[in-house]
Amino acid sequence: MALKWQTREKAVEIIVTSVGFLSVIVLLLIGFFLFKEAFYIFYKAGVLKVLFGTAWYPTYEPPSFGMFPLIMGTVAVTVLTAIMAIPLGLATAVYIAEIAHYKVKEILKPLVEMLASFPSVVLGFFGMVVIAPILSSWLSPIISERLPELLRSTNLPFVSTTLADMCYDKLFIASGLNISTAALMLSVRAIPIISSIAEDALTAVPRTYREASYSLGASKWETIWRVVIPSSVSGLSVAVILGIGTIIGETMIVLMVAGGAAVIPLWIFDPARPMPSAIAAEMAEAPYQSLHYHALFGVGAILFLITFLLSLISDFVSRKYRAIRIGEKI
């Protein structure tokens, strides 16, 4: 009889442990299947030619699978989004963690959390039907016609000629579906993610640090800027890295509002086809096991590698900082 419960305990332990390893297996399977399907395109077309080829014409005859425009599309929207979302996300975190009255905090925190779970397809839809028309039919005439006129009428040496012409050329928005619109909507996605991880990092700074700073006569802002932020910098970097990871992988928003042209964007109002949107838009049309199918898995494999690398970096950064629980924030 004694043996019986011991056997059962052992059996339970074995079952629980093997289920526990399921996530390792799943991750390995994801990597395996992605690279298995992606291998063929790199083998057939050559790694360098695929990565740095500038022509993405998957349906032409003969097809061309240069992923460089897609990669640059992702880089462009990510940089633009990061410029907007990182300061706003961190500011929100600082406000919630350090400045806000606790009653404001109790309302603002759930609101930010709700924004984080907002379906991205609705954000894309909003970008398409609201932001894009505003940009192309309202903002564009103002900044590319009225503004140059105004500048010309000043009759100043540089302003009325060069600057006015530059505005006229560069600020004309041909289509509202471009990387700026995508970056705006991606910021909405990234701000709550950055802010909730960053807020955890700020809250984890011991209260004694702040008290010591105040007792030395530092003001509130001095305490935040010189004490709280420097001592939580590793957690804040994790927030930024994971925010960037989210931006790179976000699909629906770039699919709906980035414009979709597989060219290297050279200006903020150019359209682009970032990597996730290429996969989402073309997978349905790519015949099974065709070169196009493999090429799209190749794009997926690159995305997977990038996010894997970002996870490794953020894990490395947060070695000393164990309070955040990453799985919850994404």
Footprint (CB under 8 A) of other proteins, residues 272-291: 276, 279-280, 283-284, 288
Smallest separation, CB 304 to other proteins (Å): 5
| Nearest CB to other proteins, comparing residues 109 and 152 | 109
| Nearest CB to other proteins, comparing residues 117 and 155 | 117
Q: Which of 1, 60, 102, 119 binds other proteins (CB under 8 A)?
A: 119
Q: Which residues in 249-259 are b (16+ Cβ under 10 Å) and which e?
A: bbbbbbbbbbb
Binding mask 154-193 for other proteins (x = CB under 8 A): ----------------------------------x--xx-
User: In the window 17-56, what residues touch other proteins (CB under 8 A)?
Assistant: 17, 19-24, 26-27, 29-30, 33-34, 36-37
Question: Which one of 41-49, 139-147, 226-234, 308-316 is the stretch in contact with other proteins (CB under 8 A)?
Answer: 308-316
Task: Decide: 112 and 221 in contact? Cβ < 8 Å.
Answer: no
User: In the window 311-330, what residues touch other proteins (CB under 8 A)?
Assistant: 311-312, 315, 325-328, 330
The reply on whether position 112 binds other proteins by CB under 8 A is yes
d(CA 133, CA 136): 5
User: In the window 202-261, what residues touch other proteins (CB under 8 A)?
Assistant: 219-222, 225, 242, 245, 248-252, 255-256
Token readout for 280 is 């989402």
Q: 108-117 long-range CB contacts below 8 Å, 24 or more apart? A: 109/199, 112/191, 112/192, 112/195, 112/196, 113/192, 113/196, 115/188, 115/191, 115/192, 116/192, 116/193, 116/196, 116/329
| Nearest CB to other proteins, comparing residues 31 and 145 | 31
Task: Decide: 292 and 59 in contact? Cβ < 8 Å.
Answer: yes
Q: Which of 43, 47, 83, 110 binds other proteins (CB under 8 A)?
A: 110
Q: What DSSP letter does each residue of 216-263 carry, written as one string?
A: TT--HHHHIIIIIHHHTHHHHHHHHHHHHHHHHH--HHHHHHSB---S
